[in-house]
Amino acid sequence: MDMLAFPVRFDSTGFKKHRDGSDEYYTQLLSICMLTEPMTHPFTPRFGVNDPAFRGIDKGLFVLNAARYVPEVKITSVLTTEDSDSNAKVTFAFDVLV
């Protein structure tokens, strides 16, 4: 099923959507996992990654959640970098298995 692009924006057909199975689709799913704290969703309390603000990103937990909740992708890298203002940036790469 296609999903609404986040943040919400518009295109010529109305709401911008990511096509099911596209790289943008999986990037958004994995980004949502990265931005969600565990215990946020009562039906999936293990979903998410702890806030990396003071201790860095838990790459293992991110890869584990990707395998658990988005099994059609395989994470190939997770990199953490800082810019000149000490702002952390997390980037990841993946392969679609289906």
pTM (2 d.p.): 0.77
- Distance, CA of 34 to CA of 47 (rounded, Å): 9
Instruction: Name which of 8-12, 33-37, 73-77 the model is least confident about.
Output: 33-37
pLDDT on residue 51? 73
**pLDDT tens readout for residues 19-41:** 998 999 999 989 888 888 888 88
pLDDT at 93 over 90: yes
For the chain, give every domain's residue range.
Answer: 3-96
What does pLDDT average to over the chain? Answer: 87
Contacts of 76 (CB under 8 A, 6+ apart): 93, 94, 95
